[in-house]
Amino acid sequence: MTTTEPGATVSYDVVILGNHLATGLLATVLAKQDLRVLLVGSPDDTVLPSGDSTVPYTTAVLHLLAERFDVPEIASFAHFEDLPEQVRRNSGIKKSLAFLHHTAGRGHDPAHAVQFHVPGEHSEWHLYRPVVDEYARELAVSYGASVLPDRASATEVRLASDAVHLTFGGGQTATARFVVDACGADSPLRAVTGDGDPGTLTLRSRMMHAYLRDVRKFEECSRLTDYHRATAWSRGTVHHLFDGGWIQVVDFRNHHDAVNDLCSVTVGLDPDRFDDLPAGPEEAFRALVARFPSLAEQFASAAVQGDWTTSPSWQRRAAVTHGPRWFAMERSACRTDEFLSRDVTMTAEVVHALGAALPRAVRDEQAAGAALAEVAAFQDALIEFNDQMLAAARTACGSFALWNAYSRVWLLWQILAHLSLKRATNDAVAAGTWDPVEQFADGGLWFRTPDGLRQMLDWFFGVFARVRDGGLGQTEAADMIFRELRRARFVPPLYRFGDPDARYYHFTKARRLLMVAWVMTVAPADFKRLLTKDNVTGRRDDAPVPTPARGPVPAGDGRVETNGDGRADGSAAGAPGVTQPGRR
């Protein structure tokens, strides 16, 4: 461990601005590749809300990160039971993904519900970000990343032809060959580079987010027995939908080891549709849920822990996200709705691309421009894809019939993307090249997927664009989507994606046997290659079993224990300056 004296200038390969899950993962994979990395926090790290739920495809990307960069702890982010104890106890399990569509002035209609159950081989979860982000920072430190004392943030960034010069609170300085910015709109780097013309995103939202306690479980507000085959909503992620918006409820109290009594509540609204709500977020939230009797009951006793984060126009996008020695990612590149777990997933996708590109740039600075431009183009494509998916979701909220259809295509994409990325990862390992998982020019589907999926998604986005423009009715659009799901040869018939009445998905043993029969008989070849033993189980016969997650116990906001030496700030013991633990 080495430290710097005040006023000394230290040189790094990469300085990363921002301290949260994205930057912690990136710092970890770069440090594992023997780059000299400095991880710097920012004032907005604990203010801006971030994604707090995973989906199956998220876990596939996390496994790829763990496999490619040889960091088994990252694989633990994909499985709730593998998490360090304090992360697990403060976070929540996710046994299902539920969508409940509401009509103003009426209690919830059980016929307007869809619930997807998480198969047993998956272990999705709810991320309590104060603890998760701290653990990601500690993981980076354990692999050799440096951090500043007293969590000083950057106050100035100067770009030069031969280096990046940074000044931090407390008067310390550093130089870097490259800087990665994930601070957000107030980043000192953005003050130099500017956002330029931000471009447009289709989805526009008034966003409100807070941690609430004493939120009633929805199964206590509407009898669970009225919902055929439903399981307890609180055991998974709940999305309350209504024309023009949604409320996402993520529960951290829903398992026997839980010590966190909070729920994360995120609201996304069409700002024009709900322009009559009060300006204050607490008043606006109360006025909103009062319009829906079942929601009013669920949140009647709920109290906010801390403050609401809100914005009347949440979406923003930087026009330029890279330069000769810098790259803007995550919240510094784009801020969009966290609905459907896109925030966490996009984080992992960009970390994968950047984690491979930056070491190449450090080794060969002449090729750095092309490497960063490729990742920037990939990130832009992910932003566009995400915007199309979320804009379609907002349109689908106009009626339950349309949402019912939307959710089937969304789930189909999730299943096939998850299996396809697992297949591509296994193929890459077997072939000794990462080319199968680097088809970044293909945008949102950056690996081989079954023939027909990309075409269906393009058609699907077009349908919702027509609905938004008034050229297609909601009922007609829903019927078209269900017909296409019944017609498409690559859609597994046993899922009954094309049946509007099949609103509860349990992947039972009988369904697994039917899937095997389908694969062995009439399934397209593209699908057969996804359902091999190694791809379904996620284990190759020669693959080592990842070791349990290690690293220091994360510090949080009072709901977690301190490290063994009594520190609660996550810094290395006795470090008055920049900490540089030994490398692995």
In a domain, 545, yes or no: no
And the tokens for 549?
């997650």
Residue 431 shares a structural domain with residue 528: yes
Q: Dump pLDDT digits (tens) for 201-244.
A: 999 999 999 999 999 999 999 999 999 889 999 999 999 999 99
pLDDT band (50, 70, 90) for residue 552: very low
Residue 305 shares a structural domain with residue 325: no
CB-facing half-sphere around the CA of 214: CA atoms within 13 A: 7
Q: Dump pLDDT digits (tens) for 396-409.
A: 999 999 999 999 99
State which of 361, 390, 419 marks the end of a domain.
390
Domain span at 15: 1-91+127-200+316-390
Write down the pLDDT at residue 199. 63
Q: Dump pLDDT digits (tens) for 375-402.
A: 999 999 999 999 999 999 999 999 999 9
Percent of the chain at pLDDT above 90?
73
In a domain, 554, yes or no: no
And the tokens for 497?
């994606």
Write down the pLDDT at residue 541. 45
Which amino acid appears at position 41 of this protein? G
Residue 288 shares a structural domain with residue 140: no
Give dist(CA 459, CA 426) in Å, integer: 30
Residue 433 shares a structural domain with residue 496: yes
Residue 453 shares a structural domain with residue 375: no
And the tokens for 88?
């697990």
Residue 378 shares a structural domain with residue 499: no
Q: Dump pLDDT digits (tens) for 90-103.
A: 999 999 999 999 99
Q: Given CA atoms 233, 239, 240, 241 in this order, what sign does their dihedral have?
A: negative
Give dist(CA 517, CA 520) in Å, integer: 5
The CATH number given to whatever domain includes residue 359 is 3.50.50.60
Considering its fold, how many domains does the chain have in total? Answer: 3
Residue 337 shares a structural domain with residue 286: no
Residue 21 shares a structural domain with residue 33: yes
Given a cut of 80, whether residue 183 has pLDDT beyond it is yes
Residue 105 shares a structural domain with residue 178: no
pTM for the model: 0.90
Please choose, from the candidates 62, 33, 4, the residue with its C-alpha nearest in 3D space to the C-alpha of residue 144: 33
What angle do helix axes 342-363 and 21-32 make, rounded to 10 degrees? 30
DSSP 528: H
Residue 425 shares a structural domain with residue 509: yes
Both ends of the chain: CA-CA distance in Å?
A: 13
Residue 244 shares a structural domain with residue 328: no
Residue 37 shares a structural domain with residue 164: yes
Q: Dump pLDDT digits (tens) for 317-344.
A: 998 999 999 999 999 999 888 888 888 9
- Residue position matching structure tokens 């990130």: 379
Please choose, from the candidates 389, 446, 442, the residue with its C-alpha nearest in 3D space to the C-alpha of residue 420: 446
Given a cut of 80, whether residue 554 has pLDDT beyond it is no
